[in-house]
Amino acid sequence: MHSERASVGLRLAAWGGLVFLHFPILIIFLYAFNTEDAAFSFPPQGFTLHWFTVAFARSDVLEAIKLSLQVACLATLIALVLGTLASAALYRRSFFGKESISLMLILPIALPGIITGIALLSAFKRLGIEPGVFTIVVGHATFCVVIVYNNVIARLRRTSQSLIEASMDLGADGWQTFRYIILPNLGSALLAGGMLAFALSFDEIIVTTFTAGHERTLPIWLLNQLSRPRDVPVTNVVAMLVMLVTMLPILGAYYLTRGGESVAGSGK
């Protein structure tokens, strides 16, 4: 009886915590559709799509969306290539310095974003590289690689070595074994890692602040909007877009990797 009451109490506490955390998000969603003549009133007075029209008619919003999508796609592509190569190099062989390399790969996402951002900015200044799109992409790729690496190396560890040995015994070369045996087994892990990396890159702001220079991604645009209270309805619309764009890939990655508890990286 006591254990059942404790279980019910824990469930209520968990659901209460989730409601508390997500209630502000619900408010933003509601105010994105609030009527034009009652944009700042509470409770919402009606339903309208007017603010969506206003938001997507603004060139600064469209430019910020375009830049965020461009950076997220490039960072994800780099992370998929480097993360997969790193996991393939580290998952089987033991060699001197392996643990140090693994730590260096994971470090960018373990460190506070402000530390990573300052370190990247100092490195770019020392190399004479001016902040811009290139530096944003590099900055995002440093932590996106970790997500892909964790997913892929976990899947490689779960892949039976006998499949690879059988492929080689049947006359397949290294490329054929990778294409027909290893890659199909990595498919969902790569997709999940790529989706998570895209979501993290799209809404990243701390590292971006140090590496963007004069460029404005969507999160930086939202940060600048805090000083413009008359633009709150438009800001709510853009904030809702950011949440949807980041939430959907994370949910997709969750469904792709559920049931595989050893696939790491989906909890970030």
pLDDT tens digits, one per residue of 114-145: 888 999 999 999 998 888 899 999 999 998 99
Whether the Cβ atoms of residue 143 and residue 109 lie closer than 8 Å to each other: yes
Residue 229: is its pLDDT beyond 70? no
Give the pLDDT score at 6.
63
Q: Is 5 exposed, middle or buried, given 0-12, 13-18 or 19+ CB atoms closer than 10 A?
A: exposed
> Is a pLDDT exceeding 50 seen at residue 263?
no
Alpha-carbon distance of 100 to 155, in angstroms, equals 21
Q: Please give the pLDDT value at position 27.
A: 80
Half-sphere exposure of 175 (CA within 13 A, CB side): 0
- Name which of 147, 117, 77 is nearest 220 in CA terms: 117
Mean pLDDT of 261-266: 40
Q: What is the reported pLDDT for 71?
A: 94
Residues in the chain: 268
pLDDT value at residue 79: 93
Q: Cα–Cα distances in Å, from 228 out to 42, 76, 202, 224, 254?
A: 19, 32, 23, 8, 36
For range 238-247, the mean pLDDT: 82
pLDDT at 44: 67
pLDDT band at 2 (very low <50, low <70, confident <90, very high): low
What is the per-residue pLDDT for 262?
A: 42
pLDDT at 104: 82
pTM of the full structure: 0.78
